[in-house]
Amino acid sequence: MPFGSGRRIVLIAAFSCLACSHPPRESAASLASVLAPASAVESAPAPAPAPASPPPPACGDPGDVLVFVSPAHPLHGQPVRVIAVADHLIDGQLTLSGARGVEPVVSGDRHGGPPYFWIDRVDAPSAGKWTATFARSDACEGAMLAARPVVVHSFGLTATKPPRTSLWWSRGAWSPSFENLYSAWIQAMFEAPLAEQETYSALHDVLRDRGRNFLFDYAGEAEDEQNVVVRPDCADLPYFLRAYFAFKLGLPFGWSRCSRGENGTAPTCGDFATSSEPFPPVDDKPQPLPPWADPDRAPDGGPWEIGVKRVGEFFRGTLADAAGSGAGRTQATDEDTDYYPIALSAETLRPGTIFGDPYGHVLVVAQRIPQTPAAGGVLLAVDGQPDGTVARKRFWRGNFLFAVDPTLGSPGFKRFRPLVHDAKGKLVRTKNADLADFSATDQYAGGVDGFYDKMADLLSPSPLDPTTALLETVDALEEQVKTRVVSVENGRRFLASGKPPADMPDGAKIFETNGDWEDFSTPSRDLRILIAIDVARALPARVARRPARYATPVPVPGGKAPEGVQAELDARLARELKDRSFEYTRTDGSPWKLTLRDVFDREAALEMAYNPNDCVEQRWGAPLGSPEAATCGAHAPDAQAGKMAGYRAWFHERRRPPR
């Protein structure tokens, strides 16, 4: 049976394991007068829309159902969380009941989709026996789907010392239910209102948030309170998330060292290692044992403290050194990889899915918001930056770059290959034939436009209102610009630190190097901003070219020429760009306000604005001699400015150079 198929109900038993303001939006009907002839509007006013009917109750097959408790061994007076996860859309209710006289905790709030999940929490449970029950809603006759006992202990249990040469004890195996729990865990950590622009200074800020991370202190040993630093860049982030989850639940985890792909070939992966066998030869050379595996240099402390230190060192060293963006661009048919490409559907684009773009950036899907009558569907993802920040971004053409080019490998949406044991008991990666959602062609067959069209149809199956589509595109552009504010501010602080100028690499390596240049330069981000400007500018013409994809909310007879539609949208775009503003901090610490219109007008300057050795004013394209530029006090060395002039064509033509 292919991995991920079939239906199961799973009760996960507790087990111990080691670690600016916007102007008001127009009504969605505002373009009716543009898309219809004037005479039609005068003679046939649009009728009032009928009130929306409530959706029917979701009472179908739930698919895999899981009930999970955290921590593994609940303790009297300490918070306990119960999570129910269902594979398919249903109306459900999660209840946590205690002893007689204790009011049950009930949650009918459904998150996600798919998978869908419910969370209950008791902050200070009493010792004794509790019961977690997951049932259908009353509208679906309240039939029980799963139940499990929860024992709240009066005292903590002793942790088991981890094996010397393994990262952690493996106590379970990946299953569809654990994959669903992994998706629910990621969404729960990064879920927030769409209007909020979520940015964190480091991943450990999220992991240490008990309200977001339902695996916080899962072992009951205050393991997430040891100040372990977790600061992944974009390539590290998927691996760090997967490893943390596997560490907590005692699941197997694997990773490879993958090339970047050179000389017209796609990246390949080798030196595969696992949590059970983390020391295979690298390039046929034996690896020395790290301090945590060397009995003479092992860290001091109790069993769990040793485990936390071990995993923290593993994140900072072995895993951060091995993880690379090439893993997201391996050839679609290659099976010796950590990720595999998926067929695109509402079922497959789940939290935890990776997106690798053709030029080396990697994001992790965090949430999908379905289309509504008032708004298009949204796919949200998080990414890591070289400076350690983690930010949430929405899927759109200006943010998720895609290409179909054999020399770049196979970018796109991918998932981790689950690890299974072979006939000899060795952990291996699941093969393509055993993966139900694998596809080597689905994302690539229609070319670049086909990919984006498929994603648009998937996220918003119903035709989009043109104004709504325009405003959501400007929203996405604004998010992207405001995220750049953070990165450029980090560069300003770097300059203010008095450190020597960051060394600038040669050629394509400006996008891929390490050190201060990687931490504080923004060539990849700026290239994406320039592409995003092009996408937003082109949207009115795109609406005019694809009338079947964009529709008025109220049918009217006839229709206006596409040129009229495009002109109205062009005018609205101009207003939005003028009205939306943001601030950055100048060299002297004073704030300066810009609009999105300024960003559009300065796109030529943004082609050479990525050098962290330039003042922040220059990096935002301040005109020479202007009051804005008066506080500028630093410029890149002449040699670096000369290099940038030579590389400018890449940004002007919106293309990454070949490796």
pLDDT digits (tens, 9 = 90+) for 458-477: 999 998 889 999 999 999 99
Weakly modelled stretches of the chain, pLDDT under 50: 1-50, 304, 553-557
Give the contacts of 484 (CB within 8 A, at least 6 positions apart): 522, 525, 526, 529
Return the closest-CA partner of residue 587 out of 624, 628, 623: 628
Residues of the chain with CATH 2.60.40.10: 57-152
How many Å apart are CA 385 and CA 237, to the nearest integer? 9
Q: Sign of dihedral through CA atoms 23, 25, 26, 27?
A: negative
How many Å apart are CA 398 and CA 535, to the nearest integer? 6
Q: What CA–CA distances, in Å, run from 591 to 185, 585, 586, 628?
A: 38, 5, 6, 10
Q: Sign of dihedral through CA atoms 56, 60, 62, 63?
A: negative
| Predicted pLDDT at 291 | 63
pLDDT digits (tens, 9 = 90+) for 332-387: 999 999 999 999 999 999 999 999 999 889 999 999 999 998 899 999 999 998 77
| Predicted pLDDT at 560 | 58
The whole model's pTM is what?
Answer: 0.82
Return the closest-CA partner of residue 495 out of 519, 473, 472: 519
> DSSP for 470-506?
HHHHHHHHHHHHHHHHHHHHHHHHHHHTTPPPPPP--
Half-sphere exposure of 97 (CA within 13 A, CB side): 10
Please say whether the beta carbons of 76 and 153 come within 8 A: yes
* 3-state percent helix, strand, coil for the chain, nearest multiple of 5: 30, 20, 50
CA 296 to the chain's CA centroid: 40
> DSSP for 261-324?
--TT----EEEEEESSS----BTTBPPPPPGGG-TTTPPPS-HHHHHHHHHHHHIIIIIHHH--
| Predicted pLDDT at 261 | 84
Please say whether the beta carbons of 408 and 402 come within 8 A: no
Please say whether the beta carbons of 18 and 161 come within 8 A: no
Nearest-10 crossing angle of helices 176-190, 236-249: 120
Return the closest-CA partner of residue 260 out of 158, 361, 400: 361
Q: What is the CATH number of domain 57-152?
A: 2.60.40.10
- Reported residue count of the chain is 659
| Predicted pLDDT at 30 | 31
Backbone Cα Rg of the chain: 26
- Please state, as a whole number, how many other Cβ atoms lie within 10 Å of the Cβ of residue 480: 23
Structure tokens at 460: 């918003």
Please say whether the beta carbons of 113 and 46 come within 8 A: no
How many Å apart are CA 219 and CA 205, to the nearest integer? 19
Give the contacts of 260 (CB within 8 A, at least 6 positions apart): 267, 324, 325, 326, 360, 512, 659
Return the closest-CA partner of residue 527 out of 512, 541, 515, 542: 512
pLDDT digits (tens, 9 = 90+) for 498-527: 999 999 999 989 987 778 998 899 998 899
Residue 422: phi and psi, rounded to 5, are -85, -175
Half-sphere exposure of 463 (CA within 13 A, CB side): 14
Return the closest-CA partner of residue 478 out of 583, 350, 337: 583
Place of tokens 């997951």: 134
Residue 343: phi and psi, rounded to 5, are -75, 140
Half-sphere exposure of 426 (CA within 13 A, CB side): 8
| Predicted pLDDT at 411 | 96
How many Å apart are CA 609 and CA 617, to the nearest integer? 9
